[in-house]
Chain A
Amino acid sequence: DTGVSQDPRHKITKRGQNVTFRCDPISEHNRLYWYRQTLGQGPEFLTYFQNEAQLEKSRLLSDRFSAERPKGSFSTLEIQRTEQGDSAMYLCASSPTAFSREQYFGPGTRLTVT
């Protein structure tokens, strides 16, 4: 059983650069979520997809952040003009349809903005 995978696992970038992360959910999970986690905090919701439709987006999400899920399979999260405050662990999670409420998380992408 393949779990949620994320690529890359680590990314170091200079301030002002754009970065893109990829998430491959568990196959047949049609719900996909992105979270951000900083040290000592719990994951913070960023956005949610059901199939290819982006249904929820955090009000805290800057317009420098954009996410896509073409064809309802893998998803990408792009951050434009990165800032040092963007340094965090970016987590992807997926869940199956209907009555399942638990979310299955990937290992995360650790972003460091220098």
Chain B
Amino acid sequence: SQKIEQNSEALNIQEGKTATLTCNYTNYSPAYLQWYRQDPGRGPVFLLLIRENEKEKRKERLKVTFDTTLKQSLFHITASQPADSATYLCALRTGAGSYQLTFGKGTKLSVIP
């Protein structure tokens, strides 16, 4: 069966360090993968999209990598700040011709001052 796994439910890091979150998937061949941020009681907010032919994408302190051989994406936040504390979700389009996204369960990141 198809599955998306974010293999850390929670991650605590010290302010200023780099946070690395992992998203693994099985039985998909996605054309692209997305990362979203979700704060408690709010809807997800789009952060980055990376396509299958891109190895890496950056936006300010954020970096995403996409390895279609390993079926894995890594999401990095450099120089982390307490304001980065949130749940981070990865999402894939899971069917040809489909626009629906399938989300992982998310990783709750806590940046400790």
Interface residues of A (CB under 8 A from B): 4, 31, 33, 40-45, 48, 55-56, 58, 91, 93, 95, 101-108, 110
Given the known inter-chain contacts A42-B103, A43-B103, A45-B102, please indicate yes or no for A108 contacting B42, CB distance below 8 A: yes
Nearest CB in chain A: distance from B49 CB, A:
6
Query: For A108, what are the chain B residues with a Cβ–Cβ distance below 8 Å?
Result: 41-43
B interface: dominant SS: strand
Q: Tally inter-chain residue pairs, CB-CB below 8 A.
A: 56
> In the complex the two chains form, is B105's CB within 8 Å of A101's CB?
no
B102 (CB) vs chain A CBs: closest residue = A45
A–B complex contacts, Cβ < 8 Å, 7 sampled: A45-B102, A56-B98, A56-B100, A93-B43, A101-B93, A102-B49, A103-B101
Query: For A42, what are the chain B residues with a Cβ–Cβ distance below 8 Å?
Result: 4, 89, 91, 103-106
Q: Check B82 for interface membership: any CB of A closer than 8 A.
A: no
* A31, B100: Cα distance in complex, Å: 11
Query: For B106, what are the chain A residues with a Cβ–Cβ distance below 8 Å?
Result: 42
| Of B32, B41, B46, B104, the contact of A103 (CB 8 Å cutoff) | B46
Q: Check B34 for interface membership: any CB of A closer than 8 A.
A: yes
B95 (CB) vs chain A CBs: closest residue = A56
